[in-house]
Structure formats: structure tokens, C-alpha cells
């Protein structure tokens, strides 16, 4: 009896889990599978539709002939890359008319013209015409002919569903698409954006972890960059950093820090003389990184503050008795206590920054040396309309992140666990 109940419970559990499994597959797994599938196909947005034969019908009168009508069919293959097989055509003509010099590919049955056009190659075009003559002296009704639409049918492959795969997209990604320049920019942006947000998060957490008047208000203010709408924040930064009407440039000019306005979001490089050495700074990319640090340090601040509040106060009291200074207490007590949190934050922020699209796109659109791999996915898929290439770039991003996660769990994750 107990075995029977156990089987019923298992069966019921599986049935109850089926909707969740279906949702996970449809929402998460299916798009991933589709993206991998498309990455091995040379397909653009214009090629997604299944090829179909099309015909535009034009009816004209023939000069010096009142009993004849010319019908012109502008035939074409809707696809630029795929063929259509076994194309069939049929059109109905008025009963009081008959075709003259009917094409050898066509035949007349009752008052319907049937044609077999065979195979149409990609980009196929043809002007096919039929001349109709009245049979009983009645005038042929042109409006009746125009109102009847020709029927076309054919067989073709769906480029998204066939099993023709290619590695050309991945070859283009690595060898024809400035891949290493994009990769360098992406890592530069991701690494410094991640480190910067964590460092400022630690400083903010240390600040508001102390007791002072208005601490609760200060904590809420520090969360504003993270909870604010990214579109509004990016637009505000664009206004502040505008080279001619922006507040920052006007302040720097008034205090004679700079001699001419800086296009912080539109200038790729800035040369700075540092103790006799000319340093080339990636200006626009650095500005975007600063925005990234400002916008996302509250997340690190929340995590680290929560951990700091759990540190036993006795540790700091013992350090005070031993005469330890603030820096010594931070290195010996605070930092070891928050190492695990920092490690997790680094992984999360690195993955998010590596996939970051909207911040860069809203600030610079990927111009002035800020074009990263996610921006390239958008440009390939929607600007150039090469969705196969866009999918291939996205798959490369996933593979790079998997490599990063493997290294993290092998090295940084193990050390964090040990600590």
C-alpha cells in the first residue's frame, strides 16, 4: 500500500512540475537554443520570411483594337537568396474571352488558365503576358479582370528551419570584424567599471556605517543612482557634459583648469602631459566608465554595508585596546570580513558589465572608441540587419563569460571560500 501511495505521489509531483518545466524551456532555454541555431546560418532580417512566388497584374487596352485586352503579370521570387521549386500559376478570365498565342507553359481549361513555371531561382523576375480576345462580340470587362487575383504556389525551404549550417559568421567575428579591438574595449570597460563600483561601494559603506546625524537620509540618497531611470540619468549626464552648454565644461573654463571645452562623450583620445611624458587617455570610454561606477556603486554599497553590520564590535574594541589605527583596522579586520562579499560582487558586476548595452548606447551610441561586443551585437543584428552575425557575436560573448566563470570558481571562488 505504501509503495502504491509513493508512486502516486511521484507521478503527481511530476505532473505539477510539468508547467514549470515548460515555462523554463519556453522563456529561457528555447531562446538560447534559437540563438545558437541562428548563429550557424547566414541570414538577415530580409531573409526571415519564407520565399513565395508573387505576381502583379496589369490590364491594358491594345491600340487600334477594341476587341482585345492585354494582361501583363510581373512575376518575381520574393527571396534574394533562396529558390522556389515547382511554381504553379492560375488565373480566371471572363467567359466571353479567349487567349491568343498562349505560352507553351500554360493551358486553358474552361475559363481558367493554368501554368507550370518550374523552378524560380533567387531574384527571379519575369514579365509574362496574355492577350485576350472576345468571342461573341461583347466588350471584355476590364474591371472584372482586375478584380480577379492570380493564384501562385510553390515549394521552398525556410532558411531558419533547414539543416544547412556554416561557420562563416564566426570567421567574420574573429577575422573581419575588429574583434580584438572590440574585446579589448569590452574588457577595459568591464574591469575598471567593476573595480570602480566596488571600491566606491566600500567607501560609501564605511561612511554610512558610522553613527552621525542624518545617516538614514544619507543612505537613501546614495541609492538614487541605482534606482533612477537609466534614460533620464543618461540624458542628464549628456546635458552636464555637453562641450558648449554643459555645466562641467563651464566650471572648468571659469576656473581656468582647461583652455578649451572638452567633448567628454565625443572625443576618443585626450593627450595629457604628465611629468614630461605624453599620456594618451581614452576620454569617451573613461567618461562612460565613470558613469558606470556612479550608477552601480550603490549595489556594492548595499551588499558591503549589510556585511559590515554583522561584524562583531568586539574585534574593533580589541584593536582599539592594542592601539591600531583606522587603516590597520580596515586591513586586519574589515577587509577579511568582506572578502567573500567582494568576491561575489566582482563576479556579478563583471558579468553584468560585460553584457551592458543601454548605458553605452544612450551616452555615445558606441561612437568615439566606446564600441563594445554588446553594441556590436545590436549593430550587426539591427543596423546592418545581419541577424546571423549578431547571434554569432552573442554566442562568443557567452563563451567568454563561461571562461571567466570557470577561472573565477577555480581561483577567486576557492580563495573566498577559504577565507
pTM: 0.78
Q: CB 75: neighbour CB atoms within 10 A?
A: 21
What pLDDT tens digit does each residue of the chain (419 aa) get?
566 777 888 888 888 888 888 888 788 888 888 889 999 988 887 777 788 899 999 988 877 666 788 999 999 998 877 889 999 999 998 888 888 888 889 999 888 999 999 999 988 999 988 988 887 767 777 888 888 899 999 998 878 888 888 899 999 998 876 899 999 999 999 999 999 999 999 999 998 888 888 888 888 888 999 988 999 999 999 999 998 888 898 988 888 888 888 899 988 888 877 777 778 889 999 999 999 999 999 999 999 999 998 888 888 888 888 888 888 888 888 888 998 899 889 999 999 999 999 999 999 999 888 999 999 999 998 888 888 899 999 999 999 999 998 888 887 655 555 55
What domains appear along the chain, each with residue ranges and CATH number?
A: 2-39 (no CATH), 53-155 (2.60.40.1170), 170-418 (1.10.3720.10)
User: What are the E-state strand segments in 260-309?
Assistant: 269-274, 277-282
- Asked if 104 contacts 118 with a C-beta cutoff of 8 angstroms, the reply is no
Distance CA 186, CA 174 (A): 15
Please list, in sequence order, all residues whose beta carbon lies within 8 angstroms of the beta carbon of residue 71, skipping any fewer than 6 positions away: 57, 58, 59, 60, 91, 129, 130, 131, 132, 145
Amino acid at each position: 500500500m505504501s509503495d502504491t501511495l509513493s508512486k502516486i505521489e511521484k507521478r503527481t509531483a511530476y505532473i505539477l512540475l510539468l508547467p514549470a518545466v515548460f515555462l523554463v524551456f519556453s522563456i529561457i532555454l528555447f531562446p538560447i537554443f534559437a540563438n545558437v541555431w541562428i548563429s550557424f546560418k547566414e541570414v538577415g532580417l530580409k531573409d526571415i520570411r519564407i520565399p513565395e512566388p508573387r505576381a502583379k497584374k496589369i490590364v491594358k487596352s491594345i491600340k487600334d483594337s477594341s476587341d482585345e485586352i492585354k494582361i501583363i503579370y510581373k512575376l518575381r521570387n520574393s527571396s534574394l537568396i533562396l529558390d522556389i521549386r515547382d511554381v504553379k500559376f492560375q488565373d480566371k478570365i471572363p467567359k466571353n474571352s479567349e487567349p491568343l498565342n498562349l505560352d507553351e507553359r500554360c493551358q486553358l481549361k474552361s475559363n481558367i488558365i493554368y501554368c507550370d513555371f518550374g523552378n524560380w531561382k533567387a531574384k527571379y523576375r519575369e514579365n509574362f503576358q496574355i492577350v485576350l480576345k472576345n468571342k461573341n462580340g461583347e466588350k471584355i470587362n476590364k474591371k472584372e479582370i482586375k478584380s480577379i487575383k492570380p493564384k501562385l504556389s510553390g515549394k521552398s525551404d525556410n532558411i531558419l528551419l533547414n539543416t544547412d549550417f556554416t561557420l562563416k559568421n564566426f570567421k567574420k567575428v574573429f577575422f573581419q570584424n575588429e574583434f580584438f579591438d572590440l574585446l579589448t574595449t569590452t574588457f577595459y570597460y568591464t574591469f575598471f567599471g567593476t573595480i570602480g563600483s566596488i571600491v566606491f561601494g566600500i567607501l560609501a559603506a564605511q561612511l554610512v556605517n558610522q553613527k552621525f546625524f542624518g545617516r538614514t537620509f544619507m543612505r537613501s540618497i546614495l541609492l538614487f543612482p541605482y534606482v533612477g531611470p537609466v534614460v533620464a540619468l543618461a540624458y542628464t549626464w549628456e546635458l552636464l557634459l555637453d562641450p558648449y552648454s554643459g555645466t562641467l565644461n563651464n566650471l572648468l573654463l571659469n576656473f581656468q583648469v582647461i583652455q578649451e571645452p572638452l567633448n567628454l562623450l565625443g572625443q576618443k583620445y585626450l593627450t595629457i602631459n604628465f611629468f614630461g611624458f605624453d599620456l594618451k587617455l581614452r576620454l569617451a570610454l573613461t567618461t562612460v566608465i565613470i558613469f558606470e561606477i556612479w550608477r552601480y556603486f550603490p549595489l556594492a554599497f548595499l551588499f558591503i554595508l549589510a556585511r559590515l553590520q554583522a561584524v562583531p564590535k568586539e574585534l574593533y574594541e580589541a584593536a582599539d585596546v592594542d592601539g591600531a589605527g583606522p587603516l590597520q583596522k580596515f586591513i586586519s579586520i574589515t577587509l577579511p570580513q568582506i572578502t567573500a562579499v567582494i568576491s561575489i560582487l566582482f563576479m556579478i558586476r563583471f558579468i553584468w558589465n560585460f553584457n551592458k548595452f543601454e548605458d553605452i548606447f544612450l551616452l555615445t551610441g558606441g561612437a568615439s572608441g566606446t564600441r563594445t561586443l554588446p553594441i556590436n551585437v545590436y549593430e550587426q543584428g539591427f543596423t546592418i540587419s545581419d541577424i546571423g552575425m549578431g547571434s554569432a557575436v552573442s554566442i562568443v560573448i557567452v563563451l567568454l563569460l563561461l571562461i571567466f566563470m570557470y577561472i573565477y570558481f577555480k581561483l577567486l571562488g576557492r580563495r573566498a571560500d577559504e577565507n
